[in-house]
Amino acid sequence: MTNMASGGSEAEHVARSYFEAAANRDPQAMGSHWSPDGVDHIFGFADLQGPAAVTEYFSDLFGAFPDIETKVLSTTVQDDRCVVRWAMTGTFAGPADFQGMTATGARVSLEGCDVLQIQGGKIIGNSAYTDGAEFARQIGALPEAGSKAEERLTSLANVRTSLGKKLSANDAERVADGVWVIRGGFPSKTMNVYLIEDGDGVTVFDGGIKAMTNAVAGSAARLGGVNRVVLGHGHADHRGVAPFLGAPVYCHPAEKADAEADGGEHYFQIDKLDLPARWLMPKLLTHWDGGPVDIAGTIDEGDDIAGFKVVHLPGHAPGLIGLYRESDRLALVSDCFYTLDPQTGRKGHARVPHAAFNQDTEMARQSILKLAALEPAAAWAGHADPIVGDVKSILETAARET
């Protein structure tokens, strides 16, 4: 169907002229069709801006496939856009390489489409689609579909995936009604990220470390997808996955500046750590960190998050928050307390977070007492194991410990 409404005829004329230049294997003529600021997204292959980049890319393509033939199968025009379905055949004969791969002599036959946007007689944008995996198979970069080589490659990929899970994070473990924990970090899996059932998807609470991103995204997808991310606080080992999940990120107002910047490192006192942790910790923080996070909005004391109430628990970080659910007295509290020694990674009794990472250690003690006053039945922290049993007494003891 061709719609000749405003600019439609011009769009088709320019598109057909552009593909005629391609059929003639004339990269200079192809480049001349482009606006200086035009962007060509050739998905899976290249992103090109301007005539010179287009000319260079297709010069390389024609150098690698010297007998390439391009045929327009159909065009569909609406307003300033023209969709061109095309077919391409050619031989990967060289002498030029293609994107670093030496010519194999393989015969290639593909179809695809370009979605061209034209204004003022020039192409200002294009989204080009074809089957990149099939192209790779045909030129010999990937094994043939159904072949023994493909089976071996798939097995290797599965081994790599399995190893990646073992090194980065476990699958989600249900810890309460509508709540799951993902444990990550190598080798002891002491980083915790929580998924909370929230409508058709989940809220992610606490951001863990960057290496946990795939595990969090995969588990969340099986539960309906990520609706939002709520940071317990903005330290490097608690914001790691947040920039990569494609969901809005929220935190306490007092944590926003640090979450969007250095993650609180400006108040860390790493010299309070023993060796070798004093030397190793800065390197680990860099490795764990997903980087500064764009904060979409803030949440404060008493706000409702997927059936939990926000509790402000400052001290370890100025805007550290926990989530408390009255129905089953479940608390998810980030680094309000530790159940491990951060210098050795060894699990143990509940304790005040290490002074090397606290903004205000005495305030952190008061926040532990504030949490104890809620009398939770179970309190899950940002690391290692939860506190269960007489949680109030355990927390009160932890707050008094020096």
The model's pLDDT over 20-72, given as tens digits with 9 standing for 90+, comes to 999 999 999 999 999 999 999 999 899 999 999 999 999 999 999 999 999 99
pLDDT surpasses 50 at 140 = yes
Please state, in angstroms and rounded to a whole number, the distance separating the CA atoms of residues 39 and 259. Answer: 33
8-142: CATH topology is: Nuclear Transport Factor 2; Chain: A, (3.10.450)
Using the Cα atoms of residue 87, residue 93, residue 98 and residue 101 in order, give the sign of their dihedral.
Answer: positive
Amino acid identity, position 297: G
The model's confidence at residue 160, banded by pLDDT at 50, 70 and 90, is low
pLDDT (average), residues 302-311: 98
pLDDT in tens, 85-108: 999 999 999 999 998 899 999 999
User: What pLDDT is recorded for position 157?
Assistant: 61
CB count in 10 Å sphere of residue 1: 7
> How far, in Å, CA of 378 to CA of 270, rounded?
31
Domain with CATH 3.10.450.50 in the chain: 8-142
Q: What gap in Å lies between CA 239 and CA 251, rounded to an integer?
A: 10
For residue 324, what are the β-bridge partners? Answer: 309, 331
Packed helices 361-373 and 391-400: angle between N→C axes, nearest 10 degrees: 160
Strand partners for 76: 83
Tell me the pLDDT of the chain averaged across its residues.
Answer: 91
CATH 3.30.465.10 fits 168-400, yes or no: no
Q: Where are the CATH 3.60.15.10 domain residues in the chain?
A: 168-400
What type of residue is 278?
R
pTM: 0.68
Strand order in the sheet with 387-388: 304-305, 308-312, 321-325, 330-332, 378-380, 387-388
The rounded distance, in Å, linking the Cα atoms of 341 and 265 is 19
Residue 147: its pLDDT value, please?
A: 72
